[in-house]
Amino acid sequence: MLTGDVTKTTNHTVVYWWETENHSRDRQLGNAVATWIGQNSKVLDKKQTVDVTKLLVEQFPYLMEVEVRHAQFQFAKWKK
Sorted by sequence, the CB contacts under 8 Å of residue 1 that are 6+ apart come out as 19, 20
Structural domains in the chain (count): 1
pTM: predicted TM-score of the whole model, two decimal places = 0.89
Mean pLDDT value across residues 4-11: 95
Write phi, then psi, for 30 (nearest 5 degrees): -65, -40
pLDDT of residue 20: 86
Mean pLDDT value across residues 60-71: 94
Which sign does the torsion angle of CA 42, 5, 3, 68 carry?
negative
Note whether residue 19 is domain-resident: yes
The alpha carbon torsion through 79, 75, 60, 18 (nearest 10 deg) reads -50
**Which of the pair, 1 or 68, is modelled with greater confidence?**
68
Note whether residue 21 is domain-resident: yes
Note whether residue 33 is domain-resident: yes
Q: Which domain holds residue 75?
A: 7-79
Note whether residue 1 is domain-resident: no
Note whether residue 2 is domain-resident: no
